[in-house]
Amino acid sequence: MRAILKLRIAENFRAVFYAPFYAIRALGLAEREGLDVEWLSSDLPGGAIEQVKHGAIDAQWGGPIRVLKDHDSSAPSLVCFCEVVWRDPFYLIGRKNQLSVDLKGLAAMRLGVVSEVPTPWYCLRADLEDAGVDTASMRLVKDLSMPQQLDALAAGKLDAVQLFEPCASRALAEGNAILYAAASRGPTSYTTFITSRDGAAKRRDEFAALTRATQAMLHWLAAEGPGELARVTAPFFADVPHDLLRSALARYHAAGLWSRTTTVSDAGFERLAHSLHAGGFIARRATYAECVHDFGKPA
C-alpha cells in the first residue's frame, strides 16, 4: 500500500488568474498522486512566505518575484518550481470611446497602476522603457486599489488604468476598451509554487507528486477549456457572477496565460528578472539555476 504524502500549501491571495490552482483541488488531482494537502488561505499577497522560509508551511504559490527578491539578500533560501501562469494577466483599460494607442502613446496619459502587488508595474515599466518611454516623467497614480482606479477612470480623473480579471471584464462591460494586454509581451514567469531549499531537499517526493498533479491539471485545461475551468472553480469565486467568470477565464485562455508544462520558462524567468532589475526592485539579478528547481527531473 502506497504511503500517504502530506503537504501544507498556502494560496497567495484569491484571484481569478489563479483558477488553475483551484482546479487541482476541485478535480482531486493531488489525491490521485497520493498527496494529502492542507490548503491554507492567505489574505495578503506573499503573506505566508516567511512561514515557508522557516518551514512552518511547505509551499506557497505566488510570483517568482519573491524568489528573486530573496536572492537579492545575504542569505537566500527560496526556490520556485512548477510554473502555471507564464504570461502577465494585467490589462491597461482606457475610457469609453478612447482611440487605441501604442505604448508610446501612454506617455501623455494619466495612468493608474496597481497598488496591491509590485510585479505588474515593474513589468509594465520595462515594456514602456523598452518602447522608448521615459517613465520617470509620466503622470502616474500608484496609491489606488483596482476598484478605486475604475472609479477614477469613470470620473475622468485617469485616462488609463491597470487591472486584472474580473475587474477588466467589468470595465469592458461598461464600454471601456483594452489599450494593452500585458500577455502580448510573451513569456513572463508570473506564478509558480515556492518553497525553501531545505523544504525542497526534505520533501522531494511530495513536491514531485505535486508537480505531476499540476501537469495533469494543465493537460486537463488544454483539453477541456475555460468553460470547464469556470464550472469547476466557481465555488472558489462566489462573489464573481458566473457569466463574468466565464468571460474572464475565456479571455485569459485566448491570451495563452497558462502554461502547457510545469517547467519554468527560461525566457519567461529572464524577462521577469530583467524587469525587476531595470526597475530597481533588485540590485542583483540571480540566475535561473539559482532560483528554479525541477522536481520532474531525477535528483
pLDDT digits (tens, 9 = 90+) for 181-230: 999 999 999 999 999 999 999 999 999 999 999 999 999 999 999 999 99
Same domain, 202 and 231: yes
- CA 60/CA 196 separation, integer angstroms: 10
Range of the domain at 100: 91-185
Q: Supply the pLDDT for residue 95.
A: 85
Q: Kindly compute the dihedral angle of the four CA atoms of residues 116, 187, 264, 146, in this order, to the nearest 10 degrees.
A: 10
- pLDDT at position 2 is 56
Residues 195 and 66 reside in one and the same domain: yes
The answer to whether position 69 is within a domain reads yes
Predicted confidence at residue 298, as pLDDT, reads 52
| Residue 266 confidence (pLDDT) | 98
299 is a domain residue: no
98 plus 36 within the same structural domain: no
Q: Is residue 255 in some structural domain?
A: yes
Closest CA to 16 of 242, 281, 287: 242
Q: What are phi and psi of 6, to 5 degrees?
A: -120, 145
Q: What's the domain count of the chain?
A: 2
Give yes or no for a contact between 203 and 7, defined as CB atoms under 8 angstroms apart. Answer: yes
Q: Which three cell numbers stand for residue 178?
A: 483594452
Amino acid 90: pLDDT: 98
Nearest to 170 by CA among 147, 142, 141, 143: 147
In a domain, 82, yes or no: yes
Residues 89, 66, 136, 106, Cα dihedral to 10°? 0
In which residue ranges of the chain is pLDDT below 50? 1, 299
Q: How high is the pLDDT of residue 1?
A: 41
DSSP state string for 122-143: HHHHHHHHHTT--GGGSEEE-S
Residue 78 · residue 196 · CB < 8 Å: yes
